[in-house]
Structure 1
Amino acid sequence: MHSAGKVVVAGLAMVVFAATAYGYTTLSSLDGVTRSDVIGEQDEAKPGEQPADGALDILFVGRDSRNDMQGKPLSPDLLRELRVGPNGDDLTDTLIVLRIPNGTHDVHAFSIPRDSYVSMPGGKDKINSAFGGGKAAEAQRLRDAGETDQAKIDQAALTAGRRATRQVVEDLTGIKIDHFAEVNLLSFYEISKAVGGVEVCLNRNTQDRKSGANFRKGVQTIDGADALAFVRQREDLPRSDLDRVRRQQVFLASLAKKVLSGGTLANPAKVSDLIEAVKRSVVLDDAWNLLDFVAQMRGVTGGGIQFGTVPVVNPDYRYAAPQHPTWTAVQVDPAQVKAFAAGLIGKQGTGTPAPPSPTVDVANAKGAAGLAARVLGVLRDKGFTPGEPSVASARRTSVVRFPADLAERGAEIAKQLGGLETEQSASVPAGHVEVVLGQVYSGPGANGGGGAPGAGDTDAPITSGGVVCVD
């Protein structure tokens, strides 16, 4: 995820203008932003139109590109400042969908891990390869048709790559993407500096030579190259890419809080810098009417954006065994992903109500340090809401307890943890499922780091209302 963490910034940079009338006078300054025909005329939403699937859905894509918006390579000095090498690729290293339900201001953003193994034209592959595949196929088609203008080939190929990415996300999530925004390394660097830095919090000191990360424990303000390193770091993180996704989310939530604050909006110089950064480094679909978007986003507050990740079946899926036993991907279940995405706006694809989404509390009756927190992390990655870790009296076997109305979800949780015993119980609080991990528990999360659980061991919900400490 070399360009991870920068993609929602472009959208949030425009969301800020929804907060005040000042936005209407400054919005015209964004007329110079680069556009691309990603959506297609037949799929364009009309101004003021309520999307049929119940939400306005925006796909934010981050590409590992070392070029500026004119396609010119970034200078060696700038690449050194960014702490990246000269070679990029055509992978979409970050994919985040912003869901804005019709008629509400409850905004949800969710990440799709870059290595998610999904179906696409030509077979199954990692989702981040869709862009490069679509781009290469269109370039070859044009050359075979006799086109010799390289500039035309390049632009058409980029559009095809963006459309291919949009399509594979739609197929996986069951969501119709209404708008598209794309940024690269340079955009993240410039936008994060334009807002004067973002506050983040770490559970411990951490370093990673590959990304240039070198951070201390606790709360700190980062921008520019440090901000890029913060969201690029993968080494020295317990869950590697999944923890890096969480890094993106807490950074972006904090960014949203700052951008939507009165201090930023009331500072014409900061707003001007933000607008110029967006214009220099962001690509939007050419059907996106920003003034209409501003009207839809009026009323969103600093705490009104919630972040999550699609459910993950197996983060270490050996998809190419036995020929390539070390190759791994992130296994996702399309049915689970569709239910998760639909549940964010309270509906399923069929129009029926979403099943109850319980809070899962995990009690450690095994005695292994940090076990409850690790299992909560596993369940969060599978789309459940993490509750509280606790310690229980020693017992040999594990059990999942739930109230009668959550029997189906309780059974699903038991299955996800390796087939645990289930028990309906009136003592479990409404809206909760209780997992008790016994001495013989060996399911997901059983093995992992040592040490007693600390304040940051449980994945706290991420919103733009405050700072959450992470690894």
Structure 2
Amino acid sequence: MHPLGKVVVAGVALVVFCGTAYGYANLRSLDEVTRDDVIGAEAKPGEQPADGSLDILLVGRDSRTDLQGNPLPADVLRELRVGPNGDDLTDTLIVLRIPNGTKEVKAFSIPRDSYVSMPGGKGKINAAFGRAKAAEARNRRAAGETDKAKIDQEALTAARRATRQAVEDLTGVTIDHFAEVNLLSFSEISKAVGGVDVCLKTDTKDRNSGADFKAGPQRIAGADALAFVRQRDNVKGGDLGRARRQQVFLAGLAKQVLSSGTLSDPGKLSDLIDAVKRSVVLDGSWNLLDFVGQMRGISGGGIEFATIPTVNVDYRYDPANPKATAVQVDPAQVKAFAAGLIGAHAPAAPAPVVDVSNASAHAGLAARVADVLRDKGFTPGTTGNTGSRRTSLVRFGPDLADRGAEVAKLLGGLTTQQTSSVPPGHIEVLLGSVYAGPGIAGGGGAPGGDEPITSGGVVCVD
């Protein structure tokens, strides 16, 4: 349920990117927004974090309740085109990086199915919230607490903190502020700004989310906006494609607030602030008025979106359940990516050495493939020819299982083999006669790429 991240930007795009005297004065009414002790630190005026960037975590929850924990009415659920049952999942995770002393905002998505380490064992990052919530509720009851409302609130605080920690552990980013929205708030905020412009490359329909859109540019709000960012089926790229949908919507929402007169229209601004107050949760240390002062002057195209690097979007993480899939990520890669957004350099583990052997009739193939892997950050090892074989194979020791799988993926999905016979720190690639991956025709092929998403214009997506 990814709408939530976007909602925050309404709340935070109103807050974050506001620039008019009227808007600034009326932001004081946001003092009534719900707060929670997610961060714990006291915010300082004109924040200049030590890591070089003010970092905000936008969280979207697949929640069918209001801020008081009451179930949403049946008529509201029907309007939103969602069922009565929701999970304690964070289906939207977006980090905004605002480098110290600049007006550029770098936003990156973390796919909800990213497979990471966290308390309780490895799992999909969107499960961190539910795990911590359930564990804290059990602990409170075991300690003798009987007040349900108090148990629920303490469990929610623990869940938000666990989500923040999971994001920090994966990205190396210190989260300074936290904003959370739910299904209802997303719908209301998208309507409050008068809708958001998006564009689709093809017609698409999905019964589960209620999505039913024609190709081309269009303005969406309310339930349609929710369906746009929630659609799972018939979206090219799976979890990564849906993250791109979220980015496009968020960029459009920011553009709408920044350029359409929302902040100078008393009626729209009032609706937007009311929607934020009803259903957005912020960390207790966030001084919104200070933040607005810092962010004045940001341009309409001043937000640039990306997604963290991934190793395998069809990762079969459970041998006992081969149909279960997740998105495999390399924490070292993710940390380097996040640091690079603000020009910093993350401490990275030494790159594995990759030795490439050519068992095919293609002259020079080993050297070309080694060049491809060097460009992807691996250390070139030995290259040469070896005895003829038909199939290709990537071999590695147990210490490099994740990086070995990454090499196999980069070369077109080669078979892998874990073995102790490979020297520590090395990965071995054997290229068979049927190899058809990067480097086969010389040069490794041109990398594909989607059009960059910014808040400066509308990008058509799948």
Same fold per TM (> 0.5)?
yes
Residues 140-182 of structure 1: per-residue CA shift (max 9 Å, x gap): 1111111111111011110000001011111111111000000
The percentage of counterpart residues that share the same residue type is: 70
Matched residue SS, 1:271: helix
- Provide the residue aligned with 2:454 in structure 1: 463
In structure 1, what is the Cα distance between the partners aligned to 2:7 and 2:224? 16
Unpaired runs of at least 5, structure 2: 349-362, 381-405, 414-433, 440-447
* Alignment partner of 1:341 is 2:342: no
In structure 1, what is the Cα distance between the partners aligned to 2:169 and 2:364? 43
Q: 2:199·2:461 contact (CA, 8 Å) conserved in 1?
A: yes
Q: 1:100·1:106 contact (CA, 8 Å) conserved in 2?
A: yes
Q: 2:8·2:181 contact (CA, 8 Å) conserved in 1?
A: no
Q: Measure how far apart 1:402 and its partner are.
A: 8.6
* Alignment partner of 1:222 is 2:220: yes
- Provide the residue aligned with 2:31 in structure 1: 31
In structure 2, what is the Cα distance between the partners aligned to 1:118 and 1:191? 32
Q: 1:350 to 1:332 in 2, by over 3 A?
A: closer
In structure 2, what is the Cα distance between the partners aligned to 1:205 and 1:400? 39
Aligned residues: 394
The higher radius of gyration belongs to 2
- Provide the residue aligned with 1:278 in structure 2: 276
In structure 1, what is the Cα distance between the partners aligned to 2:268 and 2:194? 8
In structure 2, what is the Cα distance between the partners aligned to 1:3 and 1:106? 23
In structure 2, what is the Cα distance between the partners aligned to 1:5 and 1:24? 23
Q: Measure how far apart 1:20 and its partner are.
A: 2.2
In structure 1, what is the Cα distance between the partners aligned to 2:16 and 2:90? 23
- Provide the residue aligned with 1:248 in structure 2: 246
Q: 1:332 to 1:70 in 2, by over 3 A?
A: same
Q: Measure how far apart 1:410 and its partner are.
A: 6.9
Q: Measure how far apart 1:246 and its partner are.
A: 0.4
Q: Pairwise mapping of residues 69-468 of structure 1 onto structure 2 (< 5 A)? A: 69-321=67-319, 323-350=320-347, 408-409=375-376, 415=407, 417-418=410-411, 441-442=436-437, 458-468=449-459
Q: 1:339·1:349 contact (CA, 8 Å) conserved in 2?
A: yes
Unpaired runs of at least 5, structure 1: 352-394, 421-438, 445-456
In structure 1, what is the Cα distance between the partners aligned to 2:17 and 2:125? 30
In structure 1, what is the Cα distance between the partners aligned to 2:374 and 2:233? 39
Q: Which amino acid aligns with 1:338?
A: K
In structure 2, what is the Cα distance between the partners aligned to 1:166 and 1:468? 30
Matched residue SS, 1:180: strand
Q: 1:401·1:410 contact (CA, 8 Å) conserved in 2?
A: no
| Length-normalised TM-score, structure 1 | 0.78
Higher mean displacement: 111-120 or 231-240: 231-240
In structure 2, what is the Cα distance between the partners aligned to 1:51 and 1:24? 24
Q: Which amino acid aligns with 2:224?
A: D
In structure 2, what is the Cα distance between the partners aligned to 1:138 and 1:238? 38
Q: Which amino acid aligns with 2:20?
A: T
Q: Measure how far apart 1:44 and its partner are.
A: 3.2
Q: 1:97·1:109 contact (CA, 8 Å) conserved in 2?
A: yes
Matched residue SS, 1:120: coil
Q: 1:254·1:466 contact (CA, 8 Å) conserved in 2?
A: yes
Q: 1:194 to 1:254 in 2, by over 3 A?
A: same
Q: 1:151 to 1:243 in 2, by over 3 A?
A: same
Q: Measure how far apart 1:3 and its partner are.
A: 4.8
Q: 1:287 to 1:14 in 2, by over 3 A?
A: same
Matched residue SS, 1:276: helix
Q: 1:24 to 1:263 in 2, by over 3 A?
A: closer
Q: 1:54 to 1:188 in 2, by over 3 A?
A: same
- Provide the residue aligned with 2:20 in structure 1: 20
- Alignment root-mean-square deviation, CA: 2.8
